[in-house]
Chains A and B, each alone.
Chain A
Amino acid sequence: MATRRVLIFTIFERFWHWTQMSLIMTMLVTGFAIHGLYVSMPFDTAVTLHTLAALALLALWILSTFWLFTTGNWKHYVPTAEGLGQVLRFYSYGIFQGERHPYRKAYWRKHNPLQAIAYLALKLVLFPAIWISGLIYLFYFAWGDVRFAAAGLEWVALIHTATAYAILTFVVIHVYMLTIGHSFAAHVAPMLTGFDEVDLTPEEEAYLTADEPSHIR
Chain B
Amino acid sequence: MHVLPGILLSLALMSVALAPAQARTNWPTPPVVVDTNPQVSGPLTGGTADHRKFEILQKPFASGPDVTKACLSCHTETGKHFMKNIHWTWDYKDPVTNQQLGKKYLINNFCTNARGNEGMCAQCHAGYGWKDESFDFTNEGNIDCLVCHDSTGTYYKTPNSTGNPACSVMFEGKPVIDLSFVAQRVELPKRANCGGCHFNGGGGDNVKHGDLSSALKSPPRDLDIHMSPQGLNFACTACHVTKDHVWAGSRYDVIAKDEEGQGKPGQRRDVATCESCHGTTPHQSGSIEHRKLNHHVASVACQTCHIPAFARGGVATMVDWDWRTAGKTKNGEGYHEEGYLQGNGEERYTYKSIKGNFTYAENVVPEYAWFNGQMHYTTIDTRFDTNQQPIAINAFDGSRDDIRSRIWPFKRMHTWMPFDTGNGTLVYTHLWGDDNESYWGNYDMGKSIARGMRDFGLPYSGQFGFLETISYWPITHMVAPKEEALACRECHSQDGRLAAVEGVYLPGRDRSYWLDLFGVLLVSGTVGGTLAHGLMRHLLRKHHKGENH
Contacts and interface: CB of A to CB of B under 8 A. Distances in A.
User: A11, A44, A56 — which one has the most chain B CB atoms within 10 A of its CB?
Assistant: A44
B515 A36 contact: no
Contact of A19 (B6, B401, B487, B512): B6
Given A98-B544, A165-B522, A150 B488 contact: no
B288 A48 contact: yes
Given A100-B548, A145-B403, A173-B530, A19 B509 contact: no
A176 B493 contact: no
B428 to A, nearest CB: 43
A162 B3 contact: no
A34 B20 contact: no
A95 B523 CA distance: 23
Contacts of B135: none
B518 interface: yes
Contact of A36 (B18, B400, B509): B509
B489 A39 contact: yes
Nearest to B1: A192
A141 interface: yes
Report the contact-size class of chain B (Cβ under 8 Å from the partner). 35 or more
B523 A48 contact: no
Given A35-B508, A150-B505, A173-B530, A53 B519 contact: no
B523 A52 contact: no
B541 interface: yes
B59 interface: no
A99 B548 CA distance: 6
Given A14-B2, A52-B288, A181 B519 contact: no
Interface in B238-274: none
Interface in B531-546: 533-534, 536-537, 540-541, 544
Interface stretch (B291-299, B444-452, B464-472): B291-299
Interface string A161-205: 110111011001100100111000000000010100000000000
Nearest to A22: B10
Interface in B287-315: 287-289, 292, 295, 298-299
Contacts of A97: 540, 544
B96 interface: no
A50 B287 CA distance: 13
B526 A169 contact: yes
Given A44-B289, A192-B1, 15 more contacts: A18-B2, A19-B5, A21-B6, A22-B9, A39-B489, A43-B488, A43-B492, A44-B487, A95-B537, A96-B540, A150-B401, A153-B505, A154-B505, A168-B519, A168-B523
19 contacts: A14-B2, A15-B6, A19-B10, A35-B507, A36-B507, A47-B288, A47-B488, A51-B288, A98-B541, A99-B548, A151-B505, A162-B518, A164-B519, A165-B518, A165-B519, A165-B523, A180-B537, A181-B549, A192-B2
Interface of A: 11, 14-15, 17-23, 26, 34-37, 39, 42-45, 47-49, 51-53, 56, 95-100, 140-141, 144-145, 147, 150-151, 153-154, 157-158, 161-162, 164-166, 168-169, 172-173, 176, 179-181, 192, 194
